[in-house]
Chain A
Amino acid sequence: MAQGSGESAKIAPSRGVVYGETARRLMLRPETTALVAVVVLFIVFTILSPQLFPTKLTYISLMSVAAELGIVSIGVTLLMIGGHFDLSVGAALGLSSYFTVVLMRDYATPPIIAAPAAIVVGAGLGALNGALVVRFRIHSFVVTLGTMLIWRGVLIALTGGFPMTVTIPSDFKNIMSGPLLDGFRMSVFWFFLIGALATFLLVRTRFGNWIQARGQNEQAARNLGVPVDRVTIILFMLTSALAAVAGVIQVARFSSVDALRGEGIELQAVAVTVIGGTLLSGGYGSVIGTILGAITFGMIQVGLVLAGAPGHFFRTLTGVIVVGAVILNTAVARRMARSKPLGGFRRSSEAADAAIAAASQEARDGRGDERSRTVRPGLPEEPAQ
């Protein structure tokens, strides 16, 4: 945007063109779809239940939903940018919750030890996922589908299918998810903190560069000495560890664990990530988009209840939004990326490139050599001499 205004000073296009171009570029950001979803849903739910929806109590409960789902989704986002899936996060969340409860209840472990221990267990589960993917070169979708079933099975066996309760010290409960932030839960604080750290990791560290490189061109990264396998394993550990963090927060909130804890969250996390503008094919994405995606989810869940809609609407509406978001993020963005910039602005932008790359991926899969032509629509074959 800054550049747009700089150029506009030079060539002085009309105000309409500047606004148009600003809108076009905004549309190309990965986060825009999620932002639009948040705004539109806010307006719709406010119209549906004007007395109940725009109140602080609503915001508190929707953010509490968003925080727990969001923490899991941030891990899934980083992993997806790195080119992998993790379907086992829900089961990992459940299993690490179980460890927290057992450590605190049966071994009288203080939470300050039990919580980190559960996160370590989570990381260990992730390491196993990563090792299987790296060692046997199996698609992570299949590996984590398997481990999801295994861990869920183990959890059901360990709990015997019954809920287990535990007494949680109030300090621990407060730190993890107490309503200390002017009524908002502490989990929201952890959510934003983890989101900020993950964004920094992704865009401002060597490891972040490696994640993106892994998702875009594994062979190139490998050839240049990026320890691709190590990156993959660490990503899986991070993803499962974040699922464990969400698990610990839920244990603190509910003072219990049951055999189905975390079930279904793996697909919600994928949906949140996709709404947030991360490419399903990897290589490109945004943690900020994922944060907005999680808020979208929280809003649907709480908003529908307040509007008195039947429970199954939640799934339906979520599905509609996921599909709509993907269409906006890929098809429309691609068309806009190809479209000529208004008023002679430079075409290039990060998100435009992402959209084009997704198209080029398709072209490569489908038509081999035409790639270079497909990739660079509207650009001269070479820079001017």
Chain B
Amino acid sequence: MTDAPRPDGDREVRLPSGAGELSTRPRKTEPISPNAVPVIEAVNISKAFGATTALVDVSLKAYAGRIVALLGDNGAGKSTLIKIFSGVFPPDRGELRFRGEPVVFANPAQARQRGIATVFQDLAVCELLSVTRNIVLGREPQKGVGPLKWLDVKRADEMARSALHRLGVRWERGLDERGVNISGGERQSLAIARAMFFGSSLLVLDEPTSALAVRQAGRVLDHIVQARDQGQAVILITHNFRHALSVADDLTVLAQGRVAAYFRRDQIELDELTDLVARVA
């Protein structure tokens, strides 16, 4: 598809003065269907903390079956934006829409109930709980008599196994392996598997590959693609442009709390992106 920038903001570049123009090289791509309703949509969201402005008029859409990469330097507002999505705090101005309906999340639990699963970089795993217990944490299967309930250990193992299987994670070690023995990549994959198994519709991944060796990162990216192909909407926050370009369908660049640029994947190459982010940061 070789269309010009669409008026609805499909491609939109707003650079600080003097940053220069960007070239576009459209390629064959899968456009977003005009009828598609985003799983989550931020509309002109602003947020300030005291005198510090974190976000100004930021809009972002995440569609089922698409990965949107959120790029930007430290302090660009990425974390603030995902915290708004996951209900940690509300925006000062602007609107959040879930499947087209305006929503207000009073707390993270409400966002979770809508199927928004946020995987924070270093907070995915309890180190001394087994893989199984980590996966079912918060949703432990129980059995019991009347009000007396205890863990259904066998069922928990089944749930853990099928959660990993569904994402295509090859788990060669035991499910009784504890968190400390799980590598960083495995932790991310485990968290993604867990979120999907319990019915998430939007995965928000905060720097899932930042601390990983190349091979591990590749595997986590595979699992992210797998999640997308199974219909998840994915917001991928990353510093790594290569990782973003290798999996994302859409890219949004934040700079100083504003959307500095928006592209579909086929509209940009690595060197351009690197160059752009360097200039707007």
Contacts and interface: CB of A to CB of B under 8 A. Distances in A.
Interface of A: 200, 204-206, 208-210, 212-213, 216-217, 219-226, 283-284, 348, 350, 353-354, 356-357, 360, 369, 372, 375-376, 379, 381-384
Contacts of A375: 180-181
Most B CB within 10 A of own CB, among A220, A226, A350, A382 = A220
A225 B109 CA distance: 7
Contact of A209 (B125, B151, B178, B185): B151
Interface of B: 108-109, 112, 118, 120, 123-129, 133, 137-140, 142, 149-151, 153, 172-173, 177-181, 183-185, 194, 211, 213, 215-216
Most B CB within 10 A of own CB, among A200, A221, A223, A360 = A223
Contacts of A210: 137-138
Given A206-B151, A369-B211, A381-B213, A221 B138 contact: yes
A284 B180 CA distance: 13
A269 B118 CA distance: 39
B62 to A, nearest CB: 19
B216 A212 contact: no
Given A223-B118, A225-B139, A217 B123 contact: yes
A16 to B, nearest CB: 27
A174 B224 CA distance: 64
Contacts of A376: 180-181, 183
B137 A213 contact: yes
Contacts of B153: 204
Given A205-B149, A348-B181, A369-B211, A221 B137 contact: yes
B120 to A, nearest CB: 7
In order of increasing CB-CB distance, the 9 nearest A-B pairs are A224-B138, A225-B138, A206-B140, A216-B126, A353-B178, A220-B123, A219-B123, A217-B126, A357-B127
A212 B126 contact: yes
Contact of A348 (B118, B178, B211): B178
Contact of A283 (B124, B128, B173): B128
A222 B108 contact: yes
B150 A200 contact: yes
Contacts of A383: 172-173
Given A216-B126, A225-B109, 11 more contacts: A212-B128, A220-B123, A220-B137, A221-B137, A221-B138, A223-B108, A283-B127, A360-B180, A376-B183, A382-B185, A382-B213
Contact of B133 (A209, A225, A348, A379): A209
Contacts of A216: 126-129, 179
Given A219-B120, A369-B211, A372-B211, A213 B140 contact: no
Nearest to B172: A383
Nearest to B140: A206
Contacts of B127: 216-217, 283, 353, 357, 360
A349 to B, nearest CB: 9
A85 to B, nearest CB: 19
Contacts of A372: 183-184, 211
Contact of B123 (A223, A360, A382): A223
